Amino acid sequence: MSELLDPFQFSTELKKDIAAAGNQSRYAAKIGVAHTTVSAVLHSERNPSPEFLCGAGFDRLVRYRLLRGGIHAPLINGMDFFTEVKKQIREAGSLTTFCARHKLPLGSVSNYLNDSRRASDALVKAVGYARLTRYRRRAVRSAAA
């Protein structure tokens, strides 16, 4: 399964994995986390940590969707989003003009462009996108016979 899962689909897959293990405690022991952590993630009380995701065999991926495209607009990855930000800055004429137009802190956007910080929610919105979290089950490699 290499398809991207939204948080609800991720929860459904997690429930299947827990059922296959027998219960939450066994599943927690299998992936190396506390059973309370499994419960909290399952009930959306906390986001799964990188350690949780590694043990469970999932990756978390950030994707972006054009707001005016609705739910059927394609998802783009971080590099494509970065390219879109750079394009809109060029169209504005300069970083300073772009930031002034969207009332964004120059330092924040500059840090994003220099890979020193992730895109702020305000920047994502100013560019006309929404940030979405998706999950993907890692491919299981079989041993060569």
Q: Where are the domains of the chain?
A: 7-56, 62-135
Share of the chain above pLDDT 90, in %: 88
CATH of 62-135, picked from 3.30.160, 1.10.260, 3.30.420, 1.10.10, is 1.10.260
**Which pLDDT tens digit goes with each residue over 54-66?**
999 999 999 999 9
Instruction: Compute the distance between CA of residue 44 and CA of residue 65 in angstroms, rounded to an integer.
Output: 22
What number is the average pLDDT over the span 44-63? 95
Cβ–Cβ under 8 Å, residues 113 and 107 = no
